Amino acid sequence: MSKLVSDEYPWSKLLREYAMYCFVGIFNVTVFFLIYSYLYKMNLSETYPSGSAWAPAFVFSTWQSHFTHKLFTFESTSDYKKSLMTMFWIYSISLIITTTSQSYFADTLGYHHYYVWAADTTALGFISFLALRIYAFPLSDGRITRQERLENFKERRRA
């Protein structure tokens, strides 16, 4: 495991990256919420309507989050497939915890499912950020700025 903070990657950079993670996360969470709400209204399971809507929305949202965080949040040159699989492992742990929580608090105890959804989404945010930075997008894989990434994209389109 690489060191999280160093002279080349100070606390100020980590905090700016976390702020970008939160900003990009607003978009990701909005899409997640819309999918979850739609699936919840479809009533996929009579016994666990909240938990059954949470899981597929979470899986789609994980893929989308990887794309947007790789593109906008982490200045990483990590291999796409490798970082995607790592992200799925990280988020799979979150999926198990949050689906259980969603089912228990909303479907069993009767708390409003939107409150439980918000609590679950918020609770794992910073932990997920750290896990992604350390394992899915490690500094040891190299860094590329958003500007460099955009220029590389334009070059590939011209070729």
Q: Domain boundaries in the chain?
A: 16-158
So what's the pLDDT on residue 70? Answer: 87
Q: How far apart are CA 130 and CA 133, in angstroms?
A: 5
Contact indicator for 53, 39 with CB cutoff of 8 Å: yes
Dump the DSSP string for 38-107. Answer: HHHHHTS-SS-HHHHHHHHHHHHHHHHHHHHIIIII------HHHHHHHHHHHHHHHHHHHHHHHIIIII
pTM over 0.85: no
The secondary element (H helix, E strand) that includes residue 152 is helix 146-158
* Residue 24 scores a pLDDT above 80: yes
Compute how many other C-beta atoms are within 10 angstroms of the C-beta atom of residue 8.
Answer: 9
* Residue 1 scores a pLDDT above 80: no
> Any idea which of 3-12, 81-90, 125-134 has the lowest mean pLDDT?
3-12
